[in-house]
Structure 1
Amino acid sequence: MAGTSKRNWLRAKGSPSESRVSFLELFFDLVFVFSISQLSHALAAHYTPLGALEAGLMTFAVWWVWIFTTWVTNWLDPDKMAVRGMLVVLMLLGLVLSASIPEAFGDKGLLFAGSYVLMQVGRSLFACYAVKSDALKYRNFVRISSWLIFSGVFWIAGGVLEHEARLIAWLIGLAIEYAAPASGFAVPGLGKSTAADWDVSGAHMAERCALFVIICLGEAVLVSGRTFSEMPFSPLTAVVFGTGFAGTVAMWWLYFRFGHERAAHRIEHDETPGSLARLAFTYAHIPILAGIIVHAVAVEFMFSHPHETGNLGVMASVLGGSGLFLAGNLWFKGATSGRMPLSHLAGLVLLILLAFIAPFIEVYLAGILAMLVLIIVAAWEYKSLAGQTVGHTVH
């Protein structure tokens, strides 16, 4: 019994600390401010189909290591010294991971892959040890560790390989990891997890993901402000700056005014919060994250190529950032409310229609139109939901 009590690192059920986000978790998130910055710069610097694929892969990897850590700290108490130590080590590895992003497909491939695998496997094995007294959680983390070790082989192999072989190996490793939760982390001889096994704190999960969205939006604001400060002032740069800022504010409004609030309420009262957390937070937030990163890149292009026309790649970023963000919110809000918001569907249709005229208009005008679509969707949603209680699910 004494050994068990010494390793009681779980959050106390029913206590205020169960759903509270600790200061150390917020400190841990600072590493990912750097990650998001590196990802947006990498995409802007290598804006080709291959560069977009590579940036997308790294975005998926960064999100996956963060969300897996969030799941673990949903159960483990960051106020315990051993858990604090784990998070500090993960911060150091995350800093190495982030620093290697610009050259992940160059000379620092093994550094990127090694730090990623150490974070994923190391954290999961630590969780196995930490929850050993809880047979159900222990089996779950053994299954998770098995999947991460298997995928880690492809990550390390990719770090050693070069060019297309590295990309293929990492795509296989990423596919394995993303398929794992959907399969219940099934392992021969160990069975698989069910939604009922994941007794998460919904309030903690919702707040952690909301804070990550804030990080991403903050990076978009920083990109806009930094670029604006480095350019000579003109009416056009002022317009682009205002457009980028207004678009970011609209994204904040769309996510936080109704989406996050309703999602937090729903998951706290759901009979199987683990299943909802997997769908709404683990998966549905990926296009939200990607949309904000692409939006930040689009703002850079609006500053550097405001009058350009006919560049389909640049136009794809200008319209695609808003489109990805709306699609992610559509998925997120549909999963947590039971109905797809009509306003978001209409917004996606408007962006598709804009794509037909995008080749014939200047980049900054396309940015203004994309921003106006976000504002229209936000106003429509506000008008349709204003005055309703949080518990309602009508969109």
Structure 2
Amino acid sequence: MPSRDLPTDRIARIAARVSTVELLFDLVFVFTISRVAQIVVHHPDATGIAQAALVLGLVWWMYDAFAWLTNQAAPDTAFVRIALIAAMAAFLVVSLAIPEAFGATGVLFGASYIVVAVIHAALFIHRGGRAAARRMLIVGPSNVLVGVLLVCSGFVEGPIDWVFFTLPFVAFFFSAALSARGGFDPGATHFVERHGLLMIIAFGESIVSVGVGATGHEIGPALIVGAVLAVGLVASLSWCYFPGDGGRAERAIAAAPREQRTRLALVAYYLEHLAMIFGLVLLAAGLHEVLGDAFAPVEASGAWLVAGGTALYLVADAAYRRTLSLGPVAWRLAAAAVALATVPLGTTLSGAAQLTAIIAIVVAALITETTAGRRSTVATTAA
């Protein structure tokens, strides 16, 4: 039977911090991002990027759904922990099927997605509180239906396959609209921390791509310089996300009226975090190409993936900051536009030149933003 509604103080206790079983659960996400990036690496064109975007959007919906689950229901019993481990195993199978989800492994992708959706709905109905359970009686079957559509995609080819992969987002839209009307009340501390950890995983996968891209290449100056620059670029992007924003985001969600928290969380942490993560996926795929020979000109696809992935990440990060009123965004948007202009550097000079330029652009934007913010604070205090 569903439990009674969770009072605010209990939600605060449940959502105080991320548990160790959640950290274990999130490790599968490393593999998931890697498998999505493989789609782009093997098909660095519009079709491959579109397939990767759809697959990541589908998987992120359910991954984020488990962050909502543990935000409302602490994994403090053996039953819940075992169920989460079972979901983790199902997610691993989902990830295994990702590279050929539009082909040979479509049925496996959909079937394992159904298992994940059933476990999530059952846990939420059992442990999430009465109001959340009522919502989940609608949202849960909708998520299972998404899995059914994906299973169906495994039996077809061509344009109809794209239809089966696109229709789930209609279901997601209606589920999000229903959820925004109430029933969930995200605890700010846990919610922000959990998504911050998922972003660390996404940044980490970009670093892993350095090692994967280096495989099979002679260790020499070009590889070493390329690897160092790749780490520098990922570090500069992580600088955009972490210093101070977590605390401000937590306060913004906690201070929002209860009826607005779910909407804010859906926009900021499903939609805008999805865009940031996909930007990092594109970047990881581009780094895979650049690291072949960082001192040589890069194929146009690799240069566009590096620049486009960086730009998408910066735009999504700016949107996230704007949604939660975390701070200025103009310099980040400007950096995104200038990053796109580095493509000729990569295609005519070298990947190293392009990576160096993008690092300089991002760092300069952040330093300028910080300096301008300090001046504004001093001027306000003086007034």
Q: Please give the TM-score of this superposition, normalised by the length of structure 1.
A: 0.86
1:379 deviates by 1.8
- CA distance, structure 1, for counterparts of residue 91 and residue 312 of structure 2: 26
Aligned position for 2:210 = 224
1:87 deviates by 0.5
Equivalent residues of 1:11, 1:75 under 8 A apart: no
Which is worse superposed, 367-376 or 292-301? Answer: 367-376
Tell me, what secondary structure is at the counterpart of 1:232? Answer: coil
Aligned position for 2:111 = 114
Question: In structure 2, do the counterparts of structure 1 residues 257 and 97 end up closer, same or farther at CA, with 3 Å as the change threshold?
Answer: same
Q: 1:373 aligns with which of 361, 366, 374?
A: 361
Q: 2:183 matched to 1:197?
A: yes
Q: 1:179 aligns with which of 155, 170, 173?
A: 173
Q: What aligned pairs does 1:346-385 form with structure 2 within 5 A after superposition?
A: 346-355=334-343, 359-385=347-373
Q: 2:125 aligns with which of 115, 123, 128?
A: 128
Paired letter, 2:226: V
Equivalent residues of 2:90, 2:112 under 8 A apart: yes
1:9 deviates by 9.9
Tell me, what secondary structure is at the counterpart of 2:291? Answer: helix
Q: 2:192 matched to 1:206?
A: yes
Aligned position for 1:43 = 40
Equivalent residues of 1:287, 1:325 under 8 A apart: yes
Q: What aligned pairs does 1:51-70 form with structure 2 within 5 A after superposition?
A: 51-70=48-67
Aligned position for 2:261 = 273
Q: 2:94 aligns with which of 92, 97, 104?
A: 97
Q: 2:132 matched to 1:137?
A: yes
Q: 2:20 matched to 1:32?
A: no
Equivalent residues of 2:248, 2:326 under 8 A apart: no
Which is worse superposed, 253-262 or 85-94? Answer: 253-262
More contact order relative to length (CA 8 Å, sep ≥ 6): 2
Aligned position for 2:272 = 284
- Unaligned 5+ segments in structure 2 are none
- CA distance, structure 2, for counterparts of residue 201 and residue 179 of structure 1: 22
Tell me, what secondary structure is at the counterpart of 1:149? Answer: helix
1:151 deviates by 2.8
Aligned position for 1:188 = none
RMSD across aligned positions (CA):
2.8
Aligned position for 1:330 = 318
- CA distance, structure 2, for counterparts of residue 282 and residue 92 of structure 1: 22
Question: In structure 2, do the counterparts of structure 1 residues 66 and 11 end up closer, same or farther at CA, with 3 Å as the change threshold?
Answer: farther
Paired letter, 2:153: G
Which is worse superposed, 20-29 or 309-318? Answer: 309-318
- CA distance, structure 1, for counterparts of residue 23 and residue 7 of structure 2: 19
Structure 1 stretches (4+) deviating beyond 6 angstroms?
7-12
Which is worse superposed, 221-230 or 28-37? Answer: 221-230
- CA distance, structure 2, for counterparts of residue 16 and residue 121 of structure 1: 26
- CA distance, structure 2, for counterparts of residue 41 and residue 376 of structure 1: 31
Question: In structure 2, do the counterparts of structure 1 residues 312 and 44 end up closer, same or farther at CA, with 3 Å as the change threshold?
Answer: same
Aligned position for 2:233 = 247
Question: In structure 2, do the counterparts of structure 1 residues 143 and 352 end up closer, same or farther at CA, with 3 Å as the change threshold?
Answer: same
1:307 deviates by 5.5
Tell me, what secondary structure is at the counterpart of 1:304? Answer: coil
Aligned position for 1:295 = 283
- CA distance, structure 2, for counterparts of residue 220 and residue 358 of structure 1: 19
Which is worse superposed, 330-339 or 289-298? Answer: 330-339
Q: Please give the TM-score of this superposition, normalised by the length of structure 2.
A: 0.88
- CA distance, structure 2, for counterparts of residue 388 and residue 257 of structure 1: 19
1:113 deviates by 1.1
Question: In structure 2, do the counterparts of structure 1 residues 4 and 293 end up closer, same or farther at CA, with 3 Å as the change threshold?
Answer: closer
Aligned position for 1:160 = 155
- CA distance, structure 2, for counterparts of residue 262 and residue 11 of structure 1: 20
Question: In structure 2, do the counterparts of structure 1 residues 18 and 127 end up closer, same or farther at CA, with 3 Å as the change threshold?
Answer: same
1:26 deviates by 0.5
Tell me, what secondary structure is at the counterpart of 2:178? Answer: coil
1:316 deviates by 1.3
Q: 1:81 aligns with which of 73, 78, 82?
A: 78
- CA distance, structure 2, for counterparts of residue 9 and residue 90 of structure 1: 24
1:180-203 alpha-carbon deviations (Å, 9 max, x no partner)? 344225xxxxxxx51x53211011
Which is worse superposed, 107-116 or 52-61? Answer: 52-61
Paired letter, 2:232: A
What percentage of residue pairs aligned between the two structures are identical?
Answer: 23
Tell me, what secondary structure is at the counterpart of 2:10? Answer: coil
- CA distance, structure 2, for counterparts of residue 10 and residue 218 of structure 1: 36
Q: How many residues align?
A: 376
Aligned position for 2:69 = 72
- CA distance, structure 2, for counterparts of residue 80 and residue 49 of structure 1: 46
